[in-house]
Chain A
Amino acid sequence: MSWVYLKWFLAALAGGAGCGLAGAFLVAMNLSFMGVCLSHAALAGAVLAYWIGTPVLVTALLFSMVVAAMVGPIAERTRTHANTIMSILFSMSLGFAFLGIGLMRDHRTELLGLMWGNLLLVRWEDLWPLFAAWLVPLAFAVFFAKEVKAVLFDREIARACGIPAAAISNAIIAFSGIAVTVNLNIVGGLMLFSLLTHPAAAAMQLARRTRDVVVLSMVLGAVSAVGGLCLSYMWDWPAGASIVLVSSFLYAVALVWRGIASGFNP
């Protein structure tokens, strides 16, 4: 057994669990579309980094943070629903990304790699950001458990109880942006948001307590990523696509399970 398998396994584990954790927060806060927005903004940022020659990770992170920070203020000032603004920012980001790819013919392979991702090309030095983007938010959620729980339940009520709800939810969105950015190479910017949404949605179907939702979402995210990795290795499928299909399959299983458990009465 070669060390390379361990490297792949660790990358899939940390990436999947990190996205599952971030996704649980976003889905619970009714911000699942924020995941789409963040991941495509990170993609645009990474493409931009190749264009102007800045560090890829930093630029991608910066781009997704700027886009995330734009949603709230625009929604407040223009009476447009946050979802509408996020779809505009999402398609704008995608436009930027495709523009960059169209213009930079020399870098096309790397840029397409950002779009589709390739877990099998992960390097040892890519692992520590993946683990950091999973474990730091996890430590935050454990330490501020009661505050995070309150904000996930209802931001306005949490604020009225004297919890710094804005700071907590901004931290959650920032953590999600970081998780998305470091996973660009693994899953790819186009399909990354499925790893943010599907495990969390499946966990919400199955778990009855907030802590269980978060833990299960992490587990399902990791299972999706590791399972996708196995499919990708065995049958030579593209890694990103395999991960997305496994996570979709797990969501379907969760729906059926819930259906059986509740006797098909939702």
Chain B
Amino acid sequence: MSLAFELSGVSVRRGRTDLLQDCSISLPRGGFLAVLGPNGAGKSTLLGLLSASQRASAGCVRLLGAEPFLLSGLARCRLRRRIGWVPQLHTKGADGVPLTVGEVVEMGRAGVRGLGRRLTSGDRAICAAAMEQVAVMEIAQRPFGVLSGGEQRKVQIARALAQEPELLLLDEPAGHLDFFWQEVITELIGRLWRDLGLTVVMVTHDPRHLPGGITAAALMERGGIIAFGTPGEVLRSQRLSDLYGLPVRAREVGGRIVVLPEAVL
């Protein structure tokens, strides 16, 4: 089975601190990897490596069959076009340039189409299809800056889908959202993964945000991967208790994983 990515012995240093230490992890194409861990564990740095924007200070990163930082700058740009990255929520207010939802989604095609080339009608059809997928077609003409956090997140996902990515990276996609939107986003991610045959890596600190049926999970703590395997092996009560520093019980309910403190059970 061909691998979407493979990290072997990868470390990332900034100044005197190790953001990531000796990480080895891989994912076959079509898989869904959940990365869990407390804040500051190095989850976003890991996504930085996987989006070819962060350089490893040691070890080897293979991403969709290439080593990103052995490529030329332009070739690395072309590699990034095959990877959809949905950043953590940073609400865009009125301060930036005023872009509509449709224009934000078209950014996803801007890279793929190439420098200085106009978007074609085919590109616009792909954008429309991406907006249909995440149900933001009705708000295509609205300014992105006035949307709620959940809507902005859906638009960012549509923008990543417009790239027609082979690998989709999600950084806390349901974080900072209310309960309704957490469920909407979780359901959406599960559906996109199953329907589109994407490879997905999702970072979260809350196992409740994971859709059912995912294929792999990893736990991170202080820049290291402390567990990696199938969700059944990794997302166990004892491991999660150690990770959170609190006795918890993990249960599978309808394919999804629910974690509750032992004290309430």
Contact = CB atoms under 8 A, between A and B. Distances in A.
Contact of B98 (A147, A162, A208): A208
Nearest to B118: A146
A160 B85 contact: yes
Q: How big is chain B's contact interface, by range?
A: 35 or more
Given A160-B85, A162-B77, A153 B96 contact: yes
Main SS of chain B's interface residues?
A: mixed
A19 B125 CA distance: 38
Main SS of chain A's interface residues?
A: helix
Nearest to A76: B14
A167 B76 CA distance: 13
A154 B92 contact: yes
B243 to A, nearest CB: 28
B101 to A, nearest CB: 12
A72 B113 CA distance: 29
A159 B76 CA distance: 10
A156 B169 CA distance: 14
B66 interface: no
A152 B96 CA distance: 7
A150 B82 CA distance: 17
A162 B80 contact: yes
Nearest to A140: B116
B207 interface: no
Contacts of B79: 162
A179 interface: no
Interface in A209-265: 209-210, 213
Contacts of B74: 164
Given A144-B116, A161-B110, A204-B97, 19 more contacts: A30-B96, A146-B110, A149-B107, A157-B87, A157-B107, A157-B156, A158-B110, A159-B80, A161-B107, A161-B163, A162-B77, A162-B79, A162-B81, A162-B111, A163-B77, A208-B143, A209-B98, A210-B99, A210-B103
Interface of A: 28, 30, 143-144, 146-147, 149-150, 152-154, 156-164, 167, 204, 207-210, 213
Which 3 pairs of residues, A with B, have the shortest CB-CB distance? Answer: A162-B111, A162-B81, A161-B111
